[in-house]
Amino acid sequence: MKYLCVYCGSQKGTNPRYVELTRNLGESLARRGITLVYGGGAIGLMGTLAESVLSAGGQVIGVIPRFLDEKEIAKADCTELIVVETMAQRKGVMSERADGFLALPGGYGTLDELFESLTEAQLNIHAKPIGLWNAFGFFDPLLSWIDKAESEGFLKTKYGLRPLNKRPLLQVDSDLERLLDALTRNR
């Protein structure tokens, strides 16, 4: 894997451990020679991640809509900064540039991007690995919802968290290095 699209918050959250873990991810991506593809912001976990990749000598591709350029304060020192017109274009460019996807803690935007990647994989639009970093159990309620959607017949078992005889569509782990290994192994 050469390019990993990471979805994460434009806020840092209230727990400083998320910032620390996000820095660790950036360092790991740089060490592994994986280019970060992300939403282009200089604030929140997004900014922390991009800065840590760059500080560790890695490459960063930021993609930001023009109207968010000022609001999220685009990270001008990205290796490559792409300014687009819409959120849909942002997601499209990030998806096109990525070999895989990883979601970190975040809000509505993070989940929107994650679920679009999952839906496209479900519809065979792409076959790229998708990971969910469940640091400190942040995504436990979401994982319960996915299980509920499957048990209630809204999600086929083959797209659930424990499909029979194949890797899950969404790979989940609380251990960063193990998750990155799984994503790169399944490319």
CATH number, domain containing residue 77:
3.40.50.450
pLDDT tens for each residue of 68-95: 887 768 999 999 999 999 999 999 999 9
Q: How many CB atoms lie within 10 A of CB 47?
A: 23
Separation of alpha carbons 57 and 119, rounded Å: 33
Tokens at residue 145, please? Answer: 């919802």
Summarised one tens digit per residue, pLDDT across range 144-179 is 999 999 999 999 988 988 887 678 999 999 999 999
* Contact yes or no for 2/34 (Cβ under 8 A): yes
- Show the beta-strand stretches assigned E in the chain: 3-7, 35-38, 60-65, 80-84, 100-103, 130-133, 170-173
pLDDT (0 to 100) of residue 72: 64
DSSP category for residue 16:
H
Please give the helix or strand (H or E) that residue 169 lies within, else none: none
Q: Which residues pair with 73 in a beta bridge?
A: none
- Residue 141 in contact with residue 147, Cβ under 8 Å? no
Predicted TM-score (pTM) of the model is 0.94
Residue 104 belongs to domain spanning: 3-185
CA dist 120 and 100 (Å) reads 12
Whether 8 contacts 49, CB under 8 Å: yes
* Per-residue model confidence as pLDDT tens digits over 9-28: 999 999 999 999 999 999 99
| Overall number of domains in the chain | 1
Per-residue model confidence (pLDDT) at position 104: 97
